Amino acid sequence: MAENEQMICYRCQKELQPAKTYLSYLGHSFFTDMLKCPECGEVYIPEELVKGRIAEVEMQLEDK
Ligand SMILES: [Zn+2]
């Protein structure tokens, strides 16, 4: 039912828009699509995504 779930900026009450965002974590950097408020530029980073990325990075580090 919540297929068209839209994130709303809690400050501006605007719909967040997907935008290419540059992230860096522990020396690793990558571009990814993040939901961003067109008004104030606040980026919403889903917890699951962050955890997934971090797990990925940690796995790569352990590999070496
Ligand atoms: Zn905003």
* Residue 28: domain span: 17-63
Who's near 59: CB < 8 A, 6+ residues apart? none
Instruction: Please indicate, yes or no, if residue 9 is contained in any of the structural domains.
Output: no
Q: Is the pLDDT of residue 4 over 70?
A: no
The mean pLDDT value for 21-35 works out to: 82
CB atoms within 10 A of CB 7: 15
State percent of the chain over pLDDT 70: 69
Q: Which residue has the tokens 């971090």?
A: 54
CA of 43 to the centre of ligand 1 (A): 9
Query: Could you give the strand order of the β-sheet that contains 28-36, starting from the edge strand earlier in sequence?
Result: 17-25, 28-36, 43-44
Q: How many domains does the chain have?
A: 1
Give 36 Cα–ligand 1 centroid separation in angstroms: 8
Q: Please tell me the distance from the alpha carbon of residue 12 to that of residue 54, in angstroms, as a whole number.
A: 30
Pairing state between β 43-44 and 28-36:
antiparallel
Query: Is residue 48, in this structure, part of any structural domain at all?
Result: yes
User: Does 38 score more than 90 pLDDT?
Assistant: yes
| 56 or 24, greater pLDDT | 24
pLDDT at 43: 85
